[in-house]
Amino acid sequence: MSQVTKIATPFQLMPDLPAWEFTALKESIKQHGVIIPIVRDENGTIIDGHHRDRACHELKIKDVPTITLAGLTDEQKRDHALVLNLVRRKITRKQMRAIISSELRRTPDISNQWLAEIVGSTDKTIQSVRKELITASEIPSLDAYRAKDGKRYPATRLYTERLKQSDRVRSALATLGDDAPRKPVSLKLLEREAKNKERTSQIRGRYRKPAEHAQVRLYHSTFQKLESVAQIEEDSVDLVLTDVPYNREFTQQFDDLAEFTARVLKHGGVFAVYVGVIQVADAIKSFARHLDYQATSFSSWLGAGPVIQPLQCVTQTTPILVFSKGKWTRTTRWYNCFHNSVAEQDLHEWQKPISDTEHWLLSFSDQDDLICDPCAGSGSTALACHRNERRFVGCDCDRDAIRLAQTRLSNEMTTKIKTTKLSLGKR
């Protein structure tokens, strides 16, 4: 019976399907879709599923379930292809010996036991084929053979269902290279790791201690030491605007942050703080011991955000808690929700868009006010202050983040970006 014409690929090691079997596979895919995912490497090369891929191409099906394996050597990919195919395919004794011959020609130093394990045969069969090839002078006779070393070589493994997702997988893997996590991961996690690598590779200048009377001052410091490092006087700050880390570890520092804020704020000054959804109760409890709680506001965005477990709650907002030191004295009308139409996370994993930061900055401060951000990150609050004629002092315990923020500000000042100065009124 005639067979499907073969298209040579590095890991198509099995005999081609007969024409009737390929036609049956194609009809099954047409009716039920692809049940067993196609396996590709990080370059998109098929490791397993050549016939399924061809059938989908002829049926013009673009979105196909795909498993991407990254970090394997060519030898490991061949072994993987053999194992997967030999488990599923029914092959004759002659076909099995042909496969063994092919593998021995490729790697004549492989031990009989190891090859038998890969192809699902026996040591005796491997030795029989080896003798035939040695007799025919197709492979050398060796005194020692390479045994399986027992080590495991984990691969990056992802499952996708759409063509665009597979493209995104390859793009992220190309960025990560050898830094790709060697375990099963989601596309979201892989892209996050790739983005983090891009951020860390950004050019950063040396950390520079700011001049004492500079309009914008960014320090490498914990907020607990900022008063001493930056010589901030008590009752001197008009607004503390910050975005704290959304984790349990930082939640334990809320009391310290509240005491710091209560000391540096002027009477009537405002404390506006982004917190994680899971932190809200603890934050209000801690901050309300030292400041007067006024409102809960929100920063929102389109699309799905983090999922709160075990509630299965998909977040689309970040709470901003608003406190004052003593009685509320501002008379400006402000809006308690800001919707972000764009995302800006090219410099820091939790970077907020400048427009979001500016909304709260302009709502709770005026021109020439002193603003403090004790968790400055990549410097969004500092940049917003520079653009809107506010004085700024802030810090972050991450030295790389501060170096990047200083470079960001330096670039802003060099290019002299002109922005419209807005004011929401005076106190």
The CATH class, in words, for 216-415 is: alpha beta
CB atoms near residue 358 (< 10 Å): 21
Which of the residue ranges 162-171, 190-199, 213-222, 399-408 would you say has the lowest mean pLDDT?
190-199
421 has pLDDT over 50: no
CA-to-CA distance for 70 and 64, rounded, in angstroms? 18
pLDDT of amino acid 258: 97
Q: And the tokens for 336?
A: 């308690």
Q: In this predicted model, what pLDDT tens digit does every residue of 246-271 receive, in sequence order?
A: 988 999 999 999 999 999 999 999 99
Owner of token pair 């929401």:
424
418 has pLDDT over 70: no
| Mean pLDDT, residues 379-406 taken together | 92
CB 340 within 8 A of CB 301: yes
- Strand pairing of 370-373 and 391-396? parallel
pLDDT of amino acid 351: 64
What is the SS3 assignment for 294? strand
As a whole-number percent, the residues of the chain with pLDDT over 70 amount to 87
Q: What is the DSSP secondary-structure string of 149-193?
A: -------EEEEE-SHHHHHHHHHHHHHHGGGS-SSB--HHHHHHH
CB 119 within 8 A of CB 99: yes
Q: And the tokens for 41?
A: 């490497």
pLDDT of amino acid 94: 85
Q: Burial code of 210-234, b = ≥16 C-beta within 10 A, e = fewer?
A: beeeeebbbbbbebeebbebbebee
CB 278 within 8 A of CB 392: no
204 has pLDDT over 70: no
CA-to-CA distance for 144 and 110, rounded, in angstroms? 9
424 has pLDDT over 90: no
Instruction: Compute CA distances 349 → 59, 240, 284, 319, 381, whole Å.
Output: 41, 22, 25, 18, 15
Amino acid at 252: Q
Instruction: Kindly indicate the confidence band of residue 405, based on its pLDDT and cuts at 50, 70 and 90.
Output: confident
As a whole-number percent, the residues of the chain with pLDDT over 90 amount to 41
Instruction: Kindly indicate the confidence band of residue 21, based on its pLDDT and cuts at 50, 70 and 90.
Output: confident
Q: How many C-alpha atoms does 182 have within 13 Å on its Cβ side? A: 8
51 has pLDDT over 50: yes
Q: Burial code of 311-342, b = ≥16 C-beta within 10 A, e = fewer?
A: eeeebeebbbbbbbbeeeebeeeeeeebebee
Q: In this predicted model, what pLDDT tens digit does every residue of 89-138 receive, in sequence order?
A: 667 788 888 888 988 988 888 888 888 877 778 888 988 999 999 988 88
Indicate the domain borders of the chain.
Answer: 216-415
> 196: buried, middle or exposed (CB in 10 Å: 19+, 13-18, 0-12)?
middle
Instruction: Compute CA distances 97 → 8, 157, 249, whole Å.
Output: 20, 31, 60
What's the chain's length in residues?
427
Which distant-in-sequence residues (6+ apart) come within 8 Å of 90 by Cβ?
none
Q: DSSP alpha helices (H): ranges in 33-92? A: 50-58, 74-88
Radius of gyration of the chain (CA): 31
CA angle 83-144-77, nearest 5°? 25
Instruction: Kindly indicate the confidence band of residue 7, based on its pLDDT and cuts at 50, 70 and 90.
Output: very low
Instruction: Kindly indicate the confidence band of residue 280, based on its pLDDT and cuts at 50, 70 and 90.
Output: very high
